[in-house]
Chains A and B, each alone.
Chain A
């Protein structure tokens, strides 16, 4: 049982790729479709291997994202802390949903996140964003089943390597 535990290395590797995907340059036309990679990765690890994710980590990851991305310090920290809290809260149910239902709940989580962001934007006095603002949750939802399978593969491979 102990040999089959997830190593934190896998978690940090996928997290680093998610941050890289957030920062990597995309042409402006594609940029609006960029999903919230870090959130998707955190949802996955929170569901599958809860020992690796907690609110403190989510907060620190969010701060890191704010520093790298140049957004308001604490913005992503708040959004990720709320996200991880919600996933932890409903973890037992979410884990045993069929894939499409799980994708729907991921959509709800990402949408909730956007609403929080919208709230912060309006508090700052920025104008309300255009339609493109609502695209990333949709893209994230469509990606979710495939991302889930991919991450499962990665995790399995890493596990086998550690146990052998």
Chain B
């Protein structure tokens, strides 16, 4: 078809054929878009073909990487020293805070174990850097430099230093794309930290705004409230900060209030992110009814859990904590 129409071919066919071909291609494009939007077929084909795109990203990223290296070399000794001392101070103060947190976490583990709760496990983090390739601004995606060769899997939660960023969507060999929480099709199960009110945060299509459309009118919610992940839905582990509530619109006669929140993570200007390795699915850790009766049963479930996640060092610690008293 391409050879038939190349050359001076189009001239002889006249505008009618040309219009027909426009219609054909236009229709094809619209069908493709609809399929991609609905998530039929196209998504899987796309993730296969994306492997071909990988070399392109490597090439595109190279000059930026080189430039960053050059600037890194040029940074003076003095500024490096200053940065070093500043970072050391920061590390020390955060270590201090962490010490306290560690005891709290242990206490929390113990209490959770008592009530057979499923939350409070430790997660493993994987460091990744954003790839400096600009994807389509309307796609609400970013790319990081870890892929299937580093053990990244689709669906992993992604955070940065301040809060939740999104989740891994397509995994290539050395790259993966992340769908940001600002995507209008992205829904995130959250709760209000102050009151424990559970709801869902939707992206709005604008980087700086999340929408919480299903908060009832009578609900106790204020501006400045911290929104954290609730851990429902099994994708995102609970307790990670997501956003702060910035605007509440209580309209007369409406069942729900319109709540807007600003994401804490630097969605469009961050550089380093963490991929969260979630441990085994939470379903496994639900205690069986007969195990609830005696303390022995509780231990048995703990051991079982340890066996299932042999690579998780944390569950072994929980066991030893339980043995202590």
Q: Chain A interface (Cβ within 8 Å of chain B)?
A: 19-20, 22-26, 28, 31, 34, 50-52, 54-59, 62-63, 66-75, 77-78, 81-82, 85, 88-89, 117, 120-121, 124-127, 129
Q: Is A50 within 8 A of B134, CB to CB?
A: no
- With the chains together, A25 CA to B53 CA distance in Å? 16
- Residues B163-186 near A (CB distance < 8 A): 177, 184
Interface size class of B (residues with CB under 8 A): 35 or more
* Extra A-B contacts (7), CB below 8 Å, given A117-B138, A126-B205: A23-B57, A25-B133, A52-B6, A72-B36, A73-B32, A124-B37, A127-B205
Q: Is B22 within 8 A of A82, CB to CB?
A: yes
In the complex, 28 of the A-B residue pairs with CB atoms within 8 angstroms, ordered by the A residue number, are: A19-B56, A20-B59, A23-B56, A23-B60, A25-B134, A31-B134, A55-B5, A55-B22, A56-B5, A59-B25, A59-B29, A63-B32, A67-B50, A68-B56, A70-B139, A71-B136, A72-B33, A72-B139, A73-B42, A74-B32, A74-B36, A75-B29, A77-B32, A78-B25, A126-B138, A126-B205, A127-B184, A127-B206
CB of B146 within 8 Å of the partner chain: no
Question: With contacts A23-B133, A25-B64 known, is A55 near B18, CB below 8 A?
Answer: yes
- With the chains together, A73 CA to B42 CA distance in Å? 8
In the complex, which of the residues B28, B133, B205 contacts A74, with contact meaning CB atoms closer than 8 Å?
A: B28
In the complex, which of the residues B7, B25, B42, B139 contacts A56, with contact meaning CB atoms closer than 8 Å?
A: B25
User: Which residues of the other chain, A, contact B269 by a CB distance below 8 angstroms?
Assistant: 28
CB of B15 within 8 Å of the partner chain: yes
Q: Is A71 within 8 A of B56, CB to CB?
A: no
- With the chains together, A14 CA to B133 CA distance in Å? 19
Residue among B5, B25, B26, B53 with max Cβ neighbours from chain A (10 Å)? B25
Q: Is B135 within 8 A of A69, CB to CB?
A: yes
Q: Is A77 within 8 A of B37, CB to CB?
A: no
Across chains A and B, which 5 residue pairs bring their CB atoms closest together, nearest first? A74-B32, A25-B132, A71-B136, A78-B29, A74-B29
User: Which residues of the other chain, B, contact A66 by a CB distance below 8 angstroms?
Assistant: 136
Q: Is A73 within 8 A of B136, CB to CB?
A: no
Q: A-B pairs with CB below 8 Å: how many?
A: 130
Question: With contacts A24-B60, A31-B137 known, is A50 near B10, CB below 8 A?
Answer: yes
Residue among B21, B35, B64 with max Cβ neighbours from chain A (10 Å)? B21
- With the chains together, A41 CA to B7 CA distance in Å? 19
Q: Chain B interface (Cβ within 8 Å of chain A)?
A: 1-2, 5-8, 10, 15, 18-19, 21-22, 25-26, 28-33, 35-37, 42, 46, 49-50, 52-53, 56-57, 59-61, 63-64, 132-139, 141, 143, 177, 184, 204-206, 268-269
Question: With contacts A28-B268, A127-B204 known, is A82 near B6, CB below 8 A?
Answer: no
Question: With contacts A23-B56, A127-B204 known, is A81 near B46, CB below 8 A?
Answer: no
Please give the distance in Å from B3's CB to the nearest CB on chain A: 10
- With the chains together, A161 CA to B5 CA distance in Å? 28
- With the chains together, A3 CA to B42 CA distance in Å? 43
Q: Is A70 within 8 A of B29, CB to CB?
A: no
Q: Is A82 within 8 A of B26, CB to CB?
A: yes
Residue among B18, B42, B61 with max Cβ neighbours from chain A (10 Å)? B18
Question: With contacts A54-B10, A126-B184 known, is A67 near B30, CB below 8 A?
Answer: no
User: Which residues of the other chain, A, contact B28 by a CB distance below 8 angstroms?
Assistant: 59, 74, 77
Q: Is B138 within 8 A of A121, CB to CB?
A: yes
Residue among A57, A58, A78, A129 with max Cβ neighbours from chain B (10 Å)? A78
Q: Is A54 within 8 A of B53, CB to CB?
A: no
User: Which residues of the other chain, A, contact B204 by a CB distance below 8 angstroms?
Assistant: 127
User: Which residues of the other chain, B, contact A71 by a CB distance below 8 angstroms?
Assistant: 135-136, 138-139
- With the chains together, A50 CA to B31 CA distance in Å? 28
- With the chains together, A69 CA to B59 CA distance in Å? 14
- With the chains together, A53 CA to B33 CA distance in Å? 23
**A62 to chain B: closest residue by CB:** B29
**A81 to chain B: closest residue by CB:** B25
**B32 to chain A: closest residue by CB:** A74
**A52 to chain B: closest residue by CB:** B6
